[in-house]
Amino acid sequence: MSETMFEKIWQKHRVLERDDGQTLLYVDTHLLHDGGATAFDVIRKRGLKPRAPQRIFATPDHYVSTSSRKLEEIEDPRHRDMVQKLDANTREFGIKQFGLGNPGQGIVHVMGPEQGLSQPGILLVCGDSHTSTHGAVGALAFGIGSTEVAHVLATQTLWQRKPKTMRIAVDGALGAQVTGKDVILAIIAKIGAAGGTGHVLEYTGSGIRGLSMEGRLTLCNMSIEGGGRAGMVAPDDTTFQYIAGRPYAPKGAEWDAALDRWRALPSAPDAVFDAEVTLDGTAIQPMVTWGNSPEDALPIDGRIPDPAGAVDTERREQMQRMLAYMGLTPGTPLNEIAIDRVFIGSCTNSRIEDMRAAAHVAKGRKVSAGVRAWVVAGSEGVKRQAEAEGLHEIFRAAGFEWREPGCSMCLGTNGDIAQPGERVASTSNRNFMGRQGPGARTHLVSPAMAAAAAITGKFTDVRRLLAGEA
């Protein structure tokens, strides 16, 4: 049959269907973080235990301190309790945890691919919306709510309604300093924050195939910001080289058998999708968001739009609210907007490639006076590798703070926040009002663009900076 990759994986994991259209799916891998204590309370009250603890993996990330690895130095007792409960629950039920002090600890969506837990063709879930990240290896991966987490813990299955499919093709070679972050911001700017609602998004085209695995992980990470249920990239040699040799990757004869399965996963050439979107990869530039949704993004040479040109009254009023919150004036060039904070990190952009890209910009330069800049590796593994390459010394010499792994400023619930009114150049995935702290003004950019903003004190075309023109 001329099936899409999504349909192949869905059918393989289908257990049964109800008359109301819901399908019971078998879950291969279940990831947990420190926000999942409620689900354990639910199954414990019902006298249940995890059905397949060997398929469950955990790590604390949302509420850990990025200034220390010591549990007692998590300032908020509620957050400290969440980390402690994850440790206690995983110990009680024999679940593998990459806890504080473990060399595998990190942001759950960095840890999973890094450990080889994310593999082509599997169904992977986690109680976090950015679980779509893992689709970069050719998995079907999506976030679930706390009630669903409890269901998966108890049964290793999940009820779902089958989504539609959307193919997003990006053809043409990407230009210098154009990254996976810029590609996904350009996609969301085109389809809108709700454009992929009800769909699994499959990214195709030469522009996608040319991305590294780190770039693909960034791309799929933000699928949810475009409304998608999940994001996927067909596995290829880039995928296989990335997975090979990782701790939980198949070995020996099992590896050879896995490759045979994985090579059969890509969508058939004549597969029919419910929706199609195309972008010219050669036209994508380094992007910057200006509003309070990832869809409010423009190339760095753009200007703040005027609400007067909005398509309707609702959009005009929305733009007016966003500009008032962001403290921006229509017509202002993006490259004239000064920033106060820089955050390089999050499950979107905290892998070794991201560290290298930012360090390349920072090397031999200094953070602009008055700007506070943080670099937060996505895992202990990324941190160790970056330090082995001397990247931390480059950052420190330039005036960046080099911090411990964790979600940090991405979500502003762990003490790592910006102050009201501060403008932040952030490599994270959401720029909602208050996302990085009450009154914080967040602009989403790539790691290289964030580093360029830190150096110049304003949004700057990193291509010009590296060319010596800025």
- What single string gives the DSSP state of each residue in 250-319? --THHHHHHHHHHHT-SPPTTPPPSEEEEEEGGG---EEE-SSSTTSEEETT-BPPPGGG-SSHHHHHHH
For residue 470, what pLDDT is reported?
Answer: 67
Q: Do domains 5-276 and 289-466 have the same CATH topology?
A: yes
Strand duo 164-171 + 275-280: pairing: parallel
Confidence (pTM): 0.97
pLDDT score of 413: 78
Low-confidence ranges of the chain (pLDDT < 50): none
- How is domain 289-466 classified at the architecture level of CATH? 2-Layer Sandwich (3.30)
Say what percent of the chain tops pLDDT 70.
Answer: 100
What is the DSSP pairing of strand 56-58 with strand 96-97?
Answer: parallel
**One-character DSSP codes across 394-423:** HHHHHT-EEE-SS-GGGTS-SS--PPTT-E
Give residue limits of the domains in the chain.
Answer: 5-276, 289-466
* Helix/strand/coil percentages in the chain, nearest 5: 40, 20, 40
Q: Which long-range contacts (CB under 8 A, 24 or more apart) does 260-265 make?
A: 261/120, 261/121, 262/119, 262/120, 262/121, 262/138, 262/235, 263/235, 264/8, 265/5, 265/8, 265/9, 265/120, 265/121, 265/138, 265/234, 265/235
pLDDT at 113: 98
Secondary structure (DSSP) of 49-107 = --S-GGGEEE---SS--SS-S-GGG-SSHHHHHHHHHHHHHHHHHT-EE--TT-TT-B-
Q: What pLDDT is attached to residue 469?
A: 83
Q: How many CB atoms lie within 10 A of CB 433?
A: 17
What superfamily does domain 5-276 belong to in CATH? Aconitase, domain 3 (3.30.499.10)
How much is the pLDDT for 414?
Answer: 83
Q: What DSSP letter does each residue of 328-393 carry, written as one string?
A: --TT-BGGG-B-SEEEE-TTTS-SHHHHHHHHHHHTT--PPTT-EEEEE-SBHHHHHHHHHTTHHH
Whole-angstrom distance, CA of residue 359 vs CA of residue 365: 10
Query: 220 Cβ partners below 8 Å, 6+ apart?
Result: 132, 133, 134, 135, 136, 141, 203, 230, 231, 232, 233
69 backbone dihedrals φ, ψ, rounded to 5°: -100, 5
Radius of gyration, alpha carbons of the chain: 21
Q: Which amino acid is at 250?
A: P
Check residue 412 and give its pLDDT.
81
